[in-house]
Structure 1
């Protein structure tokens, strides 16, 4: 159970007021940690929906998308046979939809197959309120010549275009609001050695570019929307970002980065439009394999996924997962 003890109805009434607080204030109303029990779920993606006051979480083993209230109660939110494994999530509030990256690392024994294992990249869209499937778009089929595909994370620009990273191929896809999928960026420099993850977390900056984590290098990339081939590596002198995964653009100068193998969340600040960054804070999670970073009001959380246990096929499977408040 979470460490928060106020009655949930009182919390629900006061959260919108707390969300208006300054970024430097961590509202005491927010739970320090929300723990939920779901044996062997292994979520990777997470978002917070302020409208329904719930976290949304994906699952590598079940495929379905779940919802977790602030008392730590888990229930199913959306499911479909096409969801082999759900990875990154993006709650597109202006268009009232939840986007999910769909892949097949082979852990969902009920849905994996020889034709999809390590080769699947898709984007599913769901109604934000009902969880009804709105669309499913195949992405990996745009470039079938690559040996592997793995749709990992999603960013959405202010026009509703979705950008999806592929961790197994040197690709970023683009899906417009009509569901038309194209290859947004393809470059051999974006690849990674076989068996490792390359492109990973991705966020959209309102100044017109994407920030992308490249896990195998511990690098951050800046990709202009209007000139994707002109991408560049963000200078991060003296910083160890190995295993960088989920990203959260906290404000226009501040980026949070979850580095799962390190058990750390770093706060990076830029004074030059993310040409370079410096570290201005860190939060140690411990050995819980932190992945993604949902935002509750103005308070950042990080998902403790324990995906390392899944990768090692640990038995018994992990049964408790958590969303912890990031405190620098």
Structure 2
């Protein structure tokens, strides 16, 4: 190789200086190792899993929220009471707990205010914390710091004077409006509660139309950016549109297709015209659409879950994930991406 390079150099001495330099540079480059885009460091693409199987025995979660900032799901527990988190590798960790958390039901992540809001009830499935004083009477809202898990507030709802006339209570689901006001459904009383950002509680709306007798009544609730709530009644599958400014003028959403939505549980508004509704008793997630500000609704797709007792649903990027709690004694629970 040395001999060839010297010969090349002698021959090149007869060329003009600029051409000699160009040829010399080309020869040196040929001796260097090659480099391509394939050798450059790349950032691996993180793909969200289609399903997570979480080995937490007898947790029986009811509510779920995706926490984008911390890349984790937040879940409740009917049988343990505490609030937990789940990473994409299915690892589980406890986020928050408090002795008054008998059964935690609906969860709402108010990310802008770094709060986790949790509906608290007692239907007797947590033997370590239930009591005669709270059984079927507990309805409360617990609020935690999402970073530290510290309790920020605990608000009694069922004990409000306007709610005390009803013997039974079950705080179920939560929606939060743009101003930080929380709205909580009561499945055993015909009530929607309101808790302002300072923790002051009131009965936001009550109506005989919400009464379900001994059955489960009001359940899922979501806030629409146009200034109203959409609320589901489980025993009939009825949807209500409730204006924030004038709740007494609420209307029933007309089911244009005559579709049965009985067993309605968790609700997720994926865009102003699209609502996902989980029906636990039908083992189905319905995709509903409205083009007239939720005066009427029609079905545009379904997702069958199988016999897994699906409850609530959350948005993660452009995807939605539904919670499979199975039963109160199951060795695990699952979080599954919905596809239509």
Q: Shared fold by TM > 0.5?
A: yes
Instruction: Provide the residue aligned with 2:219 in structure 1.
Output: 200
Q: Which runs of 5+ in 2 are unaligned?
A: 1-41
Root mean square deviation of aligned Cα: 1.2
Q: Which runs of 5+ in 1 are unaligned?
A: 1-9, 16-28, 311-316
Alpha-carbon distance change, 14 to 78 in structure 1, aligned in 2, over 3 angstroms: farther
1:133 is matched with which residue: 125, 146, 151? 151
List per-residue Cα deviations over 1:177-211 (Å, max 9, x = no partner). 000000000112111121x2100000000001000
2:230 is matched with which residue: 186, 205, 211? 211
Do structure 1's residue 70 and structure 2's residue 82 form an aligned pair? Answer: no
TM superposition outliers: structure 1 runs of 4+ over 3 Å? none
Do structure 1's residue 152 and structure 2's residue 152 form an aligned pair? Answer: no
Partners of 2:212 and 2:335 in 1: how far apart? 29
Cα deviation for residue 14 of structure 1 reads 4.4
1:100 is matched with which residue: 86, 110, 118? 118
1:185 is matched with which residue: 199, 205, 209? 205
List per-residue Cα deviations over 1:45-101 (Å, max 9, x = no partner). 000101111101000000000111001111111100010010000000111100000
Instruction: Provide the residue aligned with 2:272 in structure 1.
Output: 252
Instruction: Provide the residue aligned with 1:319 in structure 2.
Output: 331
Partners of 1:56 and 1:208 in 2: how far apart? 26
2:312 is matched with which residue: 282, 292, 301? 292
Query: What SS does the aligned partner of 1:189 have?
Result: helix
Q: Which has the larger Rg? A: 2
Cα deviation for residue 121 of structure 1 reads 0.3
Query: What SS does the aligned partner of 1:141 have?
Result: coil
Query: What SS does the aligned partner of 1:124 have?
Result: strand
Q: Give the TM-score of the pair, scaled to structure 2.
A: 0.85
Partners of 2:302 and 2:311 in 1: how far apart? 15
Instruction: Provide the residue aligned with 1:22 in structure 2.
Output: none
Query: What SS does the aligned partner of 1:207 have?
Result: coil
1:269-308 counterparts in 2 under 5 A? 269-306=289-326
Instruction: Provide the residue aligned with 1:6 in structure 2.
Output: none
Instruction: Provide the residue aligned with 1:59 in structure 2.
Output: 77
Cα deviation for residue 37 of structure 1 reads 1.0
Instruction: Provide the residue aligned with 2:30 in structure 1.
Output: none
Partners of 2:269 and 2:316 in 1: how far apart? 13
Do structure 1's residue 228 and structure 2's residue 243 form an aligned pair? Answer: no
1:115 is matched with which residue: 128, 133, 137? 133
Instruction: Provide the residue aligned with 1:7 in structure 2.
Output: none
Instruction: Provide the residue aligned with 1:243 in structure 2.
Output: 263
Partners of 2:301 and 2:249 in 1: how far apart? 30
Partners of 1:41 and 1:298 in 2: how far apart? 28
Partners of 2:159 and 2:276 in 1: how far apart? 32
Instruction: Provide the residue aligned with 2:189 in structure 1.
Output: 169
List per-residue Cα deviations over 1:154-188 (Å, max 9, x = no partner). 00000000000000000000000000000000112
List per-residue Cα deviations over 1:7-46 (Å, max 9, x = no partner). xxx99x745xxxxxxxxxxxxx221101101111000000
Cα deviation for residue 305 of structure 1 reads 1.6
1:45 is matched with which residue: 52, 55, 63? 63
